[in-house]
């Protein structure tokens, strides 16, 4: 999980009347108190953890944190400004209307917050009304969803969410869901100086204890080509059946397809699950002839599967070209990291079973997955009861920068097991009773618990991919 606390500050200006804040009673779940606002107060939100980043309604109606300053355009500053209104569902509570789109309000939809036009229904009113109370950290203000007082407005991964909490909620959740009332946005607001703003350039990958030191520059090292055997068994008897060194310009369509189950070439495809916050755009896959495959993730809104996503990511698979049972699989990959030493985004190298067999019975092996900010090895299958045991191994320190990640899959009548090899060393062996051929997947996405990239765009690089039988 993201470990650094993140608190949002509410910068409040008056439109036509004074803003008043009064804690009067205990009414908001864990929050002790109800805060009342005078209608017409103009509100902007700034992240204390990332000064200069403010809550802004984007053109696609998603609500996110963007870099906004006094030198930003008037439109950008206005898009980061909201007008406090009497709650649409309850006059004692509060709703937030866009300063640039009259009649459009912040609303919770399936946990994510969007800017939506008020359709006048009770359902809209219930999900666009918030109960203001004392902050979950014990100070300032928190906002619970009127229709479900256990759901709080929270900032995470540059997006706004309404998420559940209880007596066991974490300090990170409390700080993410706590807001402070401050001075107006604009020239009158003092410049925050508590912590430095995140850089706008690509992240420098830190050295991590317990794992080999990564190469800081992702484009300066390319490994020796065409190894006969996997790195963990140079003298074994193997037949190389798949090898892409990514030395040519342009993705080899005889080896790979871009996207997740594309129906037409060039289609922007929906991700593999609702927890993924990115659409897969084939234009975010590039092979410029520098000896590496580039898989890009950007904080750019996209639409896929009939709905918006706040990010755009990339994926290639061999679902249409290649799959097999058993064998050895290895890739040399640059895993991007952030300033906190976390895996940035959701970089992944995995095998997935053909969909003719239902999940989880068709199996999935995450040879390396940057899940929840940690590099991990994860195994999925049906344990005989229809459930996925979701077995995982996570090293004490992240493997960031250039590393090799491999898998040996023993598939015989008497033994079905897999062993992970990171940098040529065995790190985990597990039985795996899967009988479905697996295809290769490389992807760069982001999920709700991912580590945040330091910049608006980040790449996973792949030096080579090799498969043996």
Q: Which tens digit of pLDDT belongs to each residue from 244-253?
A: 999 999 999 9
Omega of the bond leading into 391 within 30 degrees of 0 (cis): no
Q: What backbone torsions phi and psi does residue 430 show, to the nearest 5 degrees?
A: -145, 145
Report the candidate in 427, 327, 440 with the shortest Cα–Cα distance to residue 378.
427
List the end-to-end C-alpha distance of the chain, in Å, as a whole number: 37
The predicted-structure confidence for 28-73, as pLDDT tens digits, reads as follows: 333 334 456 778 888 787 765 566 677 888 777 878 777 777 778 8
| Residue 417 neighbours by CB under 8 Å, 6+ apart | 409, 410, 429, 430, 431, 432
How far, rounded to the nearest angstrom, does the alpha carbon of residue 336 sit from its chain's CA centroid? 13
pLDDT tens-digit series, residues 104-134: 999 998 788 899 999 999 999 999 999 988 8
Helix, strand, coil: what percent of the chain each, to 5? 5, 45, 50
Q: Report the pLDDT value the prediction gives residue 189, as an integer from 0 to 100.
A: 32
Alpha helices in 24-98 (DSSP H): 74-79
pLDDT at 318 over 90: yes
Report the topology of domain 240-468.
Answer: Jelly Rolls (2.60.120)
Strands, DSSP E only, in 36-129?
41-47, 53-57, 63-67, 82-86, 94-98, 104-109, 112-117
Are residues 340 and 2 in contact, defined by beta-carbon separation less than 8 angstroms?
Answer: yes
Domain segments of the chain: what residues? 8-182, 240-468
What class has domain 8-182?
mainly beta
Q: Is a pLDDT exceeding 70 seen at residue 415?
A: yes
Concatenated DSSP letters for 175-221? HHT-EEEESPSSTTSPPP-SSPPPPSSPPPPPP-TTSPPPPSSTTS-
Instruction: Kindly tell me if the per-residue pLDDT of 302 is higher than 90.
Output: yes
Strand (E) or helix (H) holding 445: strand 438-445
181, β-bridge pairs: 10
Please, what is the Cα angle at 147 between 111 and 58, to 5 degrees? 40
The two tokens of residue 246 are 């990514």
| In 354-400, beta strands by DSSP E | 364-371, 374-380, 391-393
pTM: 0.58
Residue 212: which pLDDT band, with cuts at 50, 70 and 90?
Answer: very low
The top-scoring range by mean pLDDT among 9-18, 365-374, 381-390 is 365-374
Whether the pLDDT of residue 25 is over 50: the answer is: no
């Amino acid at each position: 999980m993201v470990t650094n606390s993140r608190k949002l500050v509410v910068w409040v200006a008056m439109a036509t009347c004074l803003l008043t804040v009064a804690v009067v009673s205990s009414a908001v779940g864990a929050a002790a108190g109800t805060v009342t606002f005078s209608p017409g107060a103009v509100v902007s939100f700034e992240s204390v953890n990332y000064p200069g980043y403010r809550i802004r309604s984007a053109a696609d109606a998603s609500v996110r944190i963007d870099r906004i300053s006094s030198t930003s355009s008037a439109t950008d500053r206005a898009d980061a400004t909201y007008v406090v209104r009497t709650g649409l569902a309850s006059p004692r509570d509060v709703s937030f209307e866009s300063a640039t789109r009259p009649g459009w309000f912040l609303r919770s939809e399936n946990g994510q917050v969007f800017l939506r036009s008020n359709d006048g229904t009770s359902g809209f009113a219930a999900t666009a009304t918030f109960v203001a109370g004392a902050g979950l950290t014990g100070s300032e203000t928190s906002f619970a969803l009127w229709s479900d007082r256990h759901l709080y407005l929270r900032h995470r991964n540059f997006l706004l969410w309404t998420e559940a909490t209880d007596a066991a909620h974490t300090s990170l959740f409390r700080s993410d869901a706590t807001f402070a009332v401050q001075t107006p946005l604009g020239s009158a607001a003092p410049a925050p100086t508590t912590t430095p703003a995140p850089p706008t350039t690509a992240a420098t990958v830190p050295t991590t204890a317990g794992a080999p030191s990564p190469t800081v520059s992702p484009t300066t090292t390319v490994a020796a080509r065409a190894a006969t055997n996997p790195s963990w068994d140079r003298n074994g008897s193997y037949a190389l059946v798949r090898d892409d060194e990514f030395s040519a310009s342009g993705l080899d369509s005889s080896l790979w397809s871009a996207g997740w189950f594309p129906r037409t070439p060039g289609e922007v495809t929906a991700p593999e699950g609702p927890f993924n916050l990115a659409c897969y755009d084939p234009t975010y896959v590039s092979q410029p002839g520098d000896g590496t495959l580039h898989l890009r993730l950007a904080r750019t809104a996209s639409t896929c599967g009939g709905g918006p996503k706040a990010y755009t990511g990339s994926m290639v698979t061999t679902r249409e070209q290649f799959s097999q049972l058993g064998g050895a699989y290895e890739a040399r990959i640059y895993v991007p990291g952030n300033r906190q030493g976390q895996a940035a985004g959701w970089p992944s190298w995995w095998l997935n079973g053909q969909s003719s067999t239902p999940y989880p019975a068709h199996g999935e092996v995450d040879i390396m997955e940057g899940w929840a900010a940690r590099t991990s090895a994860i195994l999925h299958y049906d344990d005989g009861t229809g459930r996925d045991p979701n077995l995982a191994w996570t090293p004490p320190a992240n493997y960031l920068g250039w590393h090799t990640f491999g898998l040996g899959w023993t598939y015989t009548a008497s033994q079905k097991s897999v062993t992970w090899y990171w940098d040529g060393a065995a790190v985990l062996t597990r039985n795996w009773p899967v009988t479905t051929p697996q295809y290769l997947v490389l992807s760069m996405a982001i999920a709700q618990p991912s580590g945040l990239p330091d910049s608006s765009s980040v790449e996973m690089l792949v030096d080579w991919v090799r498969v043996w039988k």
